[in-house]
């Protein structure tokens, strides 16, 4: 295979291989096997996923990308999990993509920057933490249970979980200690009837008022150091537990703004939930390397 360009970036250590393919002439439809090889941390470049950087117009009518998903955006985040499966959205990834576009002069943050995703258009602006992303409203998926096997041999453990759709599905469980989730080397058990396409599972502990910490197992990627859509799902689930909105509404909305600091293994994210239901995620993004590969 002819060598092609790549970049490596991360947002709170949720890391990605970016493939510049602006006019869709380099990669075509990304083969899952190639995505998995690129994300391999021993034989590849290493990452939690692959982001193809492509103009929205290239994908319209292809790859099941709709006008609603692309909107008026010039750029589209064509995202794959580490196992090559397609994912709707990645809150950390969209910040890294925006950072790449801005630093290479392909876009400007003089005004809000719309980026198309399979979960719809996400708008990025600069803020004091790096970048803030309009993550859209949350949709509740209902209660369920998640579980893990106890590596000590004591047996399986289960917790009630709140289902939150942030463009991709999440099951959020409040626990007493993040270590209770075990090593997260395998997908936690979940309700396959509620989540037929799989689910990201977040384990959450309270650290103080407006302050929580989380670990996450992402479908198709395993445990990651951070998850942006997961942080917003955690914000909504914990705020609902605190009585900030009606948990019986499919699209709940708080009566006043709610803000949380969310500690992840890779750093700190900030998330807010506004009356009307919109959520915003703030955090850093960086590009750490670039080069060429023939993987």
CA 292 to chain centre: 26
Output the CA–CA distances (angstroms, integers) from residue 118 to 74, 104, 122, 131, in the order listed: 14, 24, 10, 20
What distances in angstroms separate CA 53 from CA 110, 177, 206, one per listed residue?
21, 38, 37
Q: How far apart are the first and last CA of the chain?
A: 7
93 or 155, greater pLDDT: 93
CATH of domain 137-283: 3.10.310.10
- Per-residue pLDDT at 88 exceeds 80: yes
- Cβ pair 178, 215 in contact under 8 A: yes
Under 8 Å between Cβ of 135 and 280? yes
Nearest-10 Cα torsion for 250, 253, 259, 265: 10
pLDDT tens, position by position, 41-82: 999 999 999 999 999 999 987 767 899 999 999 999 999 999
Q: Which active-site residues does the annotation give?
A: 90, 227
* Model confidence pLDDT, tens digit, residues 247-279: 999 999 999 999 999 999 999 999 999 999 999
Give yes or no for residue 28 having a pLDDT over 90.
no
DSSP letters along 220-284, please?
TTEEES--HHHHHHHHHHHHHHTTSS-TTSSS---SS-EEEEEEETTEEEEEEE-TTSEEEEEE-
* Equal fold, 4-134+285-293 vs 137-283: yes
Report the share of the chain in percent with pLDDT over 70. Answer: 97
- The domain spans of the chain are 4-134+285-293, 137-283
Instruction: Please say whether the beta carbons of 148 and 154 come within 8 A.
Output: no
* pLDDT for residue 64: 72
Could you read off the pLDDT of 103-152 as tens digits, one per residue? 999 999 999 999 999 999 999 999 999 999 999 999 999 999 999 986 55
Is the domain covering 4-134+285-293 a CATH 3.30.428.10 domain? no
pTM of the predicted structure, to 2 decimals:
0.92
Joined tokens for residue 186: 């395998």
Using CA atoms, how far apart are residues 272 and 235, in angstroms rounded to an integer?
7
Residue 9 has phi, psi (to 5 degrees) of: -145, 170
Measured in degrees and rounded to the nearest 5, phi and psi for residue 254 equal -75, 155
Mean pLDDT across 240-250: 93
């Amino acid at each position: 295979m002819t060598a092609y360009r790549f970049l490596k970036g991360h947002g709170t250590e949720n890391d990605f291989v970016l493939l510049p393919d602006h006019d869709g002439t380099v990669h075509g439809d990304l083969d899952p096997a190639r995505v998995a090889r690129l994300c391999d941390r021993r034989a590849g470049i290493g990452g939690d996923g692959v982001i193809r950087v492509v103009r929205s117009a290239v994908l319209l009518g292809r790859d099941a990308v709709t006008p609603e998903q692309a909107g008026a955006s010039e750029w589209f985040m064509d995202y794959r999990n580490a196992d090559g499966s397609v994912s709707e959205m990645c809150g950390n990834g969209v910040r890294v993509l925006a950072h790449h576009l801005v630093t290479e002069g392909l876009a400007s943050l003089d005004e809000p920057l719309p980026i198309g995703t399979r979960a719809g258009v996400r708008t990025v602006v600069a803020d004091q933490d790096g970048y803030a992303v309009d993550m859209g409203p949350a949709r509740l998926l209902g209660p369920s249970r998640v579980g893990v096997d106890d590596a000590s041999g004591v047996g399986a453990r289960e917790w009630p979980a709140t289902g939150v759709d942030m463009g991709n599905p999440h099951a959020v469980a409040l626990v007493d200690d993040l270590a209770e989730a075990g090593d997260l080397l395998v997908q936690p058990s979940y309700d396959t009837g509620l989540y037929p396409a799989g689910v990201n599972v977040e384990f959450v502990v309270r650290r103080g008022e407006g302050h929580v910490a989380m670990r996450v197992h992402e479908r198709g990627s395993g445990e990651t150091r951070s998850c942006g859509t997961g942080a917003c799902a955690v914000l909504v689930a914990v705020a609902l537990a605190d009585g900030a909105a009606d948990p019986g509404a499919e699209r709940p909305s708080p009566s006043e703004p709610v803000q949380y600091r969310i500690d992840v293994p890779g750093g700190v994210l900030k998330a807010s939930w506004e009356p009307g239901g919109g959520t915003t995620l703030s955090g850093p993004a960086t590009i750490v390397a670039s080069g060429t590969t023939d993987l």
